[in-house]
Structure 1
Amino acid sequence: MKKHITLLMLLFFAVSIQAQQGTIFGQWKTIDDETGEAMSIIEIYKKDDKVFGKIIDILNPANRDKTCIYCKGEDYDKPLIGLDIIKSLEKDDDEYEGGTIFDPEKGKEYKAKLWIDEDDKNILNVRGYIAFLFRTQQWVRR
């Protein structure tokens, strides 16, 4: 009987991991596409049927206490850790779009689109764009 319970638990665990790999939700390590350097950890989560992403860690210890000097409104001068940089995305087939992504280092906000990479479910493609100009980063599942 114990063997059956153990087998069922292992099967459940394996299915849970597989299901998680196909979703954008969870923690992602951001990689600077110009330097290749790991920058931060972003947690993608759902709130009120919309998708958001907040900074939960900054990997360079010298930058951990920085505040958002480029933010407007209530986010101005708040700590970067805890800041929502992805806001109000909605699911559209296998992609999430219709919201924005904010670059706190440059103070720029862009329309955003996120999707899991077809070839590697541990890669999240993150695109920020204005009109037809865009830039895509690949974040790695943590």
Structure 2
Amino acid sequence: MGKVKFLTVLLFSTLSSIAFAEDITGTWKNIDDKTGSSKAILEIRQEADQSYTAKIIKVTPRPGYTPKEICIKCPAPYTNKPILGMDVLKGLKHAEGSNYNKGKIIDPLTGNIYSMKAKLSNNGKRLTLRGYVGVSALGRSQTWIRND
């Protein structure tokens, strides 16, 4: 009887950690890969088509930097739109395990749009995003930390 209880607990704890590790919805702190400081707080939501979208819900002040309020260099439909409240990540799909792909992300400071993929850490607290043009090897990575 003791072995059955142990195996049951082990099974449920494994399944719950897998389910948690695959859930990227919630709020995340965006960490700048160059400075190591937070740039924004974003909220990831799941759309009806099962893809993920992330919206900027707070711009984080940083020393020596005045945040831009409007996306000036951005292509339509982002042109001259407020950065706060902007959907900057769209179309991200769960691939397998803790991997996500087929997303698009815009850098509201430059107006550049990148293809992207992401990987969630085993504990579900860090999301590593890789933005790129063409080939992933020529891209840049950024880490988001779960803010829930």
Q: Given the two structures, how large is their TM-score scaled by the length of structure 1?
A: 0.78
What whole-Å deviation, never above 9, does each CA across 1:102-136 have from its counterpart, x for those lacking one?
Answer: 11112211111112113x42111111012131211
**How many residue pairs were aligned?**
124
Distance, in Å, in 2 between the alignment partners of 1:38 and 1:74 is 26
Change in Cα spacing, 1:22 to 1:48, as seen in structure 2 (3 Å) is closer
Asked whether the equivalents of residues 73 and 79 of structure 2 are also in contact (C-alpha less than 8 Å), the reply is yes
SS at match of 1:71: coil
**Alpha-carbon distance in 2 for matches of 1:74, 1:85:** 11
CA contact (8 A) 2:74 2:110 kept: no
For structure 2, which runs of at least 5 residues remain unmatched after alignment?
1-15
Identity of aligned residues (%): 35
Aligned amino acid, residue 26 of structure 1? G
Q: Which 5+ residue runs of structure 1 have no aligned equivalent?
A: 1-16
Please list, as runs of the form range in 1=range in 2, the aligned pairs for 1:78-117 lying within 5 A after superposition.
78-94=81-97, 95-117=99-121
Aligned pairs for 1:23-34 (under 5 A) are: 23-34=23-34
CA RMSD of aligned residues (A): 2.0
TM-score w.r.t. length of structure 2: 0.75
Paired with 2:132 and 2:143, the residues of 1 have a C-alpha distance of 15
* Runs of 4 or more above 2 Å deviation: 17-22
